[in-house]
Copies of this chain bind each other. A is one copy, B any other.
């Protein structure tokens, strides 16, 4: 059985809330962690965010997000690296355990070269993360996002990059929505032992209402969430479990109602 002691609310699960609303809502519901998005931090202001985190005692499990490494020009490549360094600074400032990396989509119709660019980009970012004491978590996305969001589409690829680069500050983030279908998912979770920096839950609804904003609430879909959670636990991950659901229909609910639903489903289905 799950308790809420590991529950983290990804801010975009309650998209319509600002950071003050999210932190007050989570404090009232005794939820110990949140995952913050950079656009929402910018909106609320970093100082105000830090003050509210201090007041509520809520911890930041992750900041979303860094990544998007592929670049058509060297100039664009340095701007990307610079932007990722700012994301690391921000993650350090809010005391986040990890900065989530969404690696970027295919460039110039060349999948192999784009994948190399991602590995190179991560390798060049790691020293800055080490210095800042921030962990970087490579999040493989579902293959349906390979074209426009992440050419890293499997745990196997993420593990390979993490092994190649070989830093204690580089690991992977596992989101059940992105990896549940993979025949190698359990062997790759085991392979990731010691390098798992995050675990995200939600569900896969049939039929899928929308690729991007049609993720399901836990219990509404086909994903074997407890089995995946057990595998992640067996691989040594005992940190926060983030609920990350982008869903147009759920976003219509009042924030507090949605938060109550998340908490109930987390306790029953995770």
Contacts and interface: CB of A to CB of B under 8 A. Distances in A.
Contacts of A144: 142-144, 208, 211
Nearest to A108: B222
Consensus secondary structure, chain A interface: loop
A186 to B, nearest CB: 9
B109 A222 contact: yes
Contacts of A106: 222
Contact of A224 (B109, B154, B211, B221): B109
A182 interface: yes
Contact of A182 (B143, B211, B224): B143
Contact of A183 (B109, B115, B148, B207): B115
A157 interface: yes
A39 to B, nearest CB: 20
Contacts of A208: 144, 147, 211
A204 interface: yes
Interface string A75-118: 00000000000000000000000000000011001110001000
Contacts of A180: 111, 146
A156 interface: yes
Interface string A122-148: 000000000000000000001110111
Contact of A142 (B115, B143, B154, B204): B143
B204 A181 contact: no
A186 B105 CA distance: 20
Contact of A147 (B143, B146, B148, B222): B222
A204 B106 CA distance: 12
A206 interface: yes
A182 B109 CA distance: 14
24 contacts: A105-B206, A109-B222, A109-B224, A110-B224, A111-B181, A111-B224, A142-B144, A143-B144, A143-B181, A144-B144, A144-B211, A146-B181, A147-B181, A147-B204, A147-B206, A147-B208, A147-B222, A148-B207, A153-B182, A153-B183, A154-B183, A156-B183, A208-B211, A211-B211
